[in-house]
Amino acid sequence: MKTCTRCKVKQPLTAFALNPRMLDGRQSQCKACGNIRAKAWRAKYPERDKANHDAWAADNVGTMRASRRGWYARNPSKVLATTRKYQATKKAATCECCQGEDAKANFELVYAIGRKLGMHVDHVKPLAKGGLHCLKNLQYLTPTQNKRKGAKWQEAA
């Protein structure tokens, strides 16, 4: 048993995070109090929090990838729901000129070329911003460029 220095409640050692620099190998504050303190710090210093997170993510790409894959494996129904929602948005945003069997073959060709080149096929004006799923609204981007762009779009001035 150990007493938290913040809330003054006596709790089992498992309620305290590990800290090898402490004599008993545990933090002086319980995990709940530590979470409250960390949340307050993140609210007070959002820029530093983002910089710290970005630096950690850059140094731990493999860990981030494994975590994401684990989430996908544990949540197949959420992944499927998100995929179906995106597919429905795409179908609803298809223009008149891109419907029919010929257009479907053209889309398949565009995506096949992208895969062969190692490029992503991206919507110039994202579907989320009202763009159409049309051959005229597609572009090839490197995977890095496409992930950086996300659903951003600026209207031409």
Q: What is the pLDDT of residues 62-83, one digit of tens each?
A: 999 999 999 999 999 999 999 9
Handedness of CA 21, 24, 25, 28 (dihedral sign): negative
Structure-token match 């609803």, residue found: 92
The chain-wide mean pLDDT, for the chain, equals 91
Contacts of 98 (CB under 8 A, 6+ apart): 106, 107, 132, 133, 134, 135
For 137-145, the CB contacts below 8 A with 24+ separation are: 138/110, 140/113, 140/114, 142/118, 143/118, 143/119, 145/120
Q: pTM for the full model? A: 0.53
The per-residue pLDDT for 156 is 59
* Per-residue pLDDT band at 152 (split at 50, 70, 90): confident
Backbone angles phi, psi at 56, to 5 degrees: -65, -45
Q: Please, are residues 130 and 96 in contact by the beta-carbon 8 Å criterion? A: no
Tokens of 138: 């597609």
Angular region, 58: left φ>0, alpha ψ -120 to 50, beta rest: alpha
Q: Quick check: 7 pLDDT over 60?
A: yes
* Per-residue pLDDT band at 16 (split at 50, 70, 90): very high
Q: What is the pLDDT of residues 21-74, one digit of tens each?
A: 999 999 999 999 999 999 999 999 999 999 999 999 999 999 999 999 999 999
Q: Quick check: 94 pLDDT over 70?
A: yes
